Structure 1
């Protein structure tokens, strides 16, 4: 019997994960609502001031099958950035979010400096996020993009890891809340590294609050 090639093993594992998620979702209802809307829960974050609620086309909201979303601009001192969260309350919607690599290129942005890594929060070192990042440029404007895919209290760098995390959480009886989180910071007259550092300073304030929000109903269920 021939050994399976690595590529076939990856495809097979994804198919098994999707089958398991589908079977489990067919017998369990999505957790009930009850959380306040994201826009109400996330106004100012630490010393970051919310300066603007950004608009999203309703066609995009519908296409992404969102249960809730947040799209806001923040500023601290002279540093600014934007935060987008696409939120889902069911494991059936894991994978509904689009990777920014596809979206930005489709809008004409040139993509460079792609990377991925892990970041341990300086304010709350018990939290570590796995993330992906890139630099996008359009007509002389540069943006640093950092993003991840959330499952309960886990931040994963891609949808494959997100599906694995959701499968393990469903097996252990945890909640089904999941999300896509994207932070964008303009480079302006500075450097991409300065914009990236600005993003991670924001994450230090935002992420613990976000995890508490995601786990809100789960914690009530275990109280």
Structure 2
């Protein structure tokens, strides 16, 4: 019995502390700041945001068209999701920043020949509404739920695989019919490819 307890303790220690170095490199430089009518400006996170997020690498930029259509792109990459470092869910972070979540629904998406599910949220604050697409990307592909992300972490830990992952979030102001704005739909479809190219995860 004591040997089993010791082994269980060692295994728990291994799952919590032993890290597998991820392969590949982050290259946010492949994400363009201009494409078609869209032009972007990189935004720096505040010191407080950086300390709360605890991501290893981030990308944040606002893109606009001449007609003032606007989209925010945010990526947070974590080299590990084990002790002391984990991906923060927008479901928790946004309300903590004063945003009200009006609705969340699963939305099917297709990238080249693959289909997956992402989250579509409607949020508002101070009379303004926004549409938010978000999902997680790990070595096993796309994940649309926080519970799924935890199971993915356990699976990779048990298999001795890297536990790195990323939160991908795309936000646009929501007006009358704006969710169907073809400019925004074009942007999301085009920039998902750029985003995936920048990450050493499944493409």
TM > 0.5? yes
Matched, 1:68 2:57: yes
Q: In 2, distance between residues paired with 1:26 and 1:207?
A: 32
Equivalent residues of 2:41, 2:61 under 8 A apart: yes
Q: 1:148 to 1:116 in 2, by over 3 A?
A: same
What are the within-5 Å matches in structure 2 for residues 37-116 of structure 1? 38=28, 40-44=29-33, 46-47=35-36, 49-76=38-65, 78=67, 79-92=69-82, 96-116=86-106
Q: Distance in 2 between matches of 1:210 and 1:20?
A: 35
* Displacement after TM superposition at 1:72 (Å): 0.3
Cα distance in 1 for partners of 2:166, 2:183 equals: 22
Query: 1:92 deviation in Å?
Result: 1.8
User: What is the CA–CA distance in structure 1 between the aligned matches of 2:122 and 2:33, rounded to whole Å?
Assistant: 26
Q: 1:26 aligns with which of 17, 22, 31?
A: 17
Distance in structure 2 (CA, Å) of the matches to 1:162 and 1:210: 19
Output the CA distance in 2 between the equivalents of 1:66 and 1:163: 17
Q: 1 CA distance for matches of 2:177 and 2:31? A: 28
Q: Aligned partners of 1:199 and 1:160: how far apart in 2?
A: 29
Aligned-pair distance for 1:120? 1.6
Tell me how far 1:61 sits from its aligned partner.
0.9
Summarize the Cα distance change of 1:214–1:24 in structure 2 as closer, same or farther, 3 Å threshold.
Answer: farther
Q: CA deviation at 1:89?
A: 1.2
Q: Counterparts of 1:64 and 1:187 in 2: how far apart (Å)?
A: 26
2:82 aligned counterpart, secondary structure: helix
Give the TM-score taking structure 2 as reference length: 0.75
- Greater fraction of residues in strand: 2
Pick from 110, 130, 136: which aligns with 1:149? 136
Please show how residues 60-209 of structure 1 align to structure 2 within 5 Å. Answer: 60-76=49-65, 78=67, 79-92=69-82, 96-121=86-111, 124-126=112-114, 128-152=115-139, 154-169=141-156, 175-188=162-175, 190-191=176-177, 193-194=179-180, 199-209=184-194
Pick 1 or 2: higher relative contact order, CA cutoff 8 A, min separation 6. Answer: 2
Cα root mean square deviation, aligned: 3.3
Deviation at 1:59, TM superposition (A): 1.6
